[in-house]
A and B are shown apart, each in its own frame.
Chain A
Amino acid sequence: MSTSRLGGDGLRLAYDRRVVAEDLTVAVPDRSFTVIIGPNACGKSTLLRALSRLLRPTAGAVLLDGTDIHRLPARAVARTLGLLPQSPIAPDGIDVAELVARGRYPHQGLLRQWSRDDERIVAESMAATGVDDLGDRLVDELSGGQRQRVWLAMALAQQTPLLLLDEPTTYLDIAHQIEVLDLCARLHEEQGRTLVAVLHDLNHAARYATHLIAMRDGRVVAAGEPRRIVTAELVEEVFGLPCRVIDDPETGTPLVVPAARARARAGTVTR
């Protein structure tokens, strides 16, 4: 495995007394597009919250460049590690350019409110996500797909080498899901950013991820390149879903095809 700037070591993640994960160790390979998958309640979003400093582990530590992330100042972290939460809130009556500009917050100060860099980076981020012609539109008026691209532009404007995305495709139709994921893949390839996303759709994960982390019951079941680890056995183990795994005719990545009902009952599905 290549080097890693972000990872968790012996994490114990809990909400009050309800323990979600125990002794969880993960590493996000540098410059990877890492996708975390797993069934509902497997702890994948919780892991992302821990990695992004939103949740403090009750044991173990999340390490960012070798330092416990909770020992670093919030602003310093925000210059290295960006986060797009699952349901961010657009303030009333805010326009697109204004919202994207908020991504510059960790780089600004009381007397450095809007530098030329801020201006340039906001424009570049909007161009990269294709929202540059929406600048003065109100965020409330946009479609779901446009809105998600605006939020991505805001996260990009933060200019962090690491970017965490919590289910960025939720609530989008299939075309917009692909659009957002294509955009993420492009950002990963062209700008060399490390992305970590939680995704629901296994096939999207297998197609776009360069590094996959499969979780179940708060444990990492498998981690690695999708082509290497996505097998019918793994899907069965992680999701309890009998299936076949074939090659995606478009990309050659693994494609999970759930078993038909009759065959699943007969238990005859194997690769």
Chain B
Amino acid sequence: MIVIRTPARLSVRLRPRVLAVGTVCLLLTVGVGVLAIGHGEYPMSPIDVLRTLTGGGSPAEEFIVTQLRLPRLVTGLAVGTALGLAGAVFQSLVRNPLGSPDVLGFTQGAATGALVVVAVSGSSAALAGSAALGGVVTGLLIYLIAWRRGVHGYRLVLVGIGMSAILTGVNGYLMTRVPLMSASRAMLWLTGSLDGRGWSDAAPLLAALAVLVPALLACAPALRMTELGDDAASGLGVSVHRLRMLPRRGRAAGGAVRSRRRTLPFRRAHRPAPWPDDSRARGHPAACGGRRRADPRPPPAQVALRALPGQLPVGVVTGVIGGGYLVWLLATERRAGRL
């Protein structure tokens, strides 16, 4: 345990392990990020990437890095951060290592919101707004149904799971009602993809994070206290029920995340994933969101290439990694006798 104290009676506590793991993850992220920016139809060496990032690249390199590849990387990282935080919050709130917005039906609610817009062929802004709204409304609904002299961990989880099941059915029905083109657009949106993400996608996400991350950090100590049980946490001066309202606030931005990149379950296993190549991704007929703005290049013959591993929507990749991680987690927990 490292403690930093100032004469002004301020003190900050750092755990060596958290510090070490955080640093390693950060370095890995930066490393993978540089490789990812260098990867694509126009390959660049890590040195070239770094040179371009620091302002020493040719105009072409500059365009490729700062306009095409960097925003996608930033969007991916921001989405990962938001989802990781959401998972951490829910784990503490429902006092369960498997707690996440998926389990509680928020994600399905956002999907319902999005599908309704897809069904009436709305704009991508409407899609984003509707997804956010769907998430928030679902959250409120779950909270109201689970309310019984306050909201308690298990009730919240059970109501959430029920809601999630219902909405999965609703979403399946909606999928059968929309035209085929819209359905494939919706499917890609539901799976999640970083294809052709630009700064216009990253900006609102970063803005949401700029507000939410400090707010969550301020709530983190209280959240940690709720792990002791509601009574003990209240005894220590935590307003447990007020804290439980937190996800609803978090949901507002969660909806923003969802509209950038919808995720598969087990988002805590979110890892940097291979980026589909930018140039080929442009003009993707089934892509959503920012993809719909005017694209100067003609749609290349990328549709066939989409089947290649490098073209997989990022959601598929995180899903596969996340599924594997869950199996590993269940196996080790079982062996340790905790399950």
A residues near B (Cβ < 8 Å) are 15-16, 52-54, 73-79, 81-92, 102-103, 105-106, 108, 110-116, 118-119, 155, 158, 164
Contact = CB atoms under 8 A, between A and B. Distances in A.
10 pairs of A and B residues whose beta carbons are closest in the complex: A78-B237, A83-B235, A85-B231, A75-B237, A106-B237, A91-B227, A89-B229, A114-B13, A88-B232, A113-B13
A116 to B, nearest CB: 7
Interface centre among A106, A112, A114 (most CB of B within 10 A): A114
A17 to B, nearest CB: 12
A86 B235 CA distance: 12
A113 B231 contact: no
Given A82-B235, A84-B232, A85-B235, 17 more contacts: A73-B237, A74-B237, A81-B235, A83-B231, A85-B232, A86-B231, A88-B228, A88-B231, A89-B229, A92-B97, A105-B225, A105-B237, A111-B10, A113-B11, A114-B11, A115-B11, A118-B11
B96 to A, nearest CB: 10
Nearest to A79: B237
A64 to B, nearest CB: 13
A152 to B, nearest CB: 12
B228 to A, nearest CB: 5
Nearest to A73: B237
Contacts of A78: 235-237
A83 B228 CA distance: 12
Contact of A84 (B95, B217, B235, B238): B235
B228 A91 contact: yes
Interface residues of B, number: 27
B287 to A, nearest CB: 41
Nearest to B95: A89
Contacts of B224: 102
A88 B229 contact: yes
A54 B235 CA distance: 8
Interface string B76-108: 000000000000000000010100000000000
A112 B9 contact: yes
Interface string B216-231: 0110010011011101
B11 A83 contact: no
A74 B239 contact: yes
B299 to A, nearest CB: 51
A91 B224 CA distance: 9
Contacts of B191: none
A78 B239 CA distance: 11
B11 A110 contact: no
Contact of A102 (B3, B217, B228, B239): B228
B228 A112 contact: no
B231 A116 contact: no
Given A89-B229, A108-B221, A113-B11, A77 B237 contact: yes
Contacts of B217: 110
A196 B143 CA distance: 35
A76 B236 CA distance: 10
Given A108-B221, A110-B218, A89 B232 contact: yes
A158 B236 contact: yes
Contacts of A105: 221, 225, 236-238
A16 B149 contact: yes
A106 B10 CA distance: 15
Contacts of A81: 235
B234 interface: yes
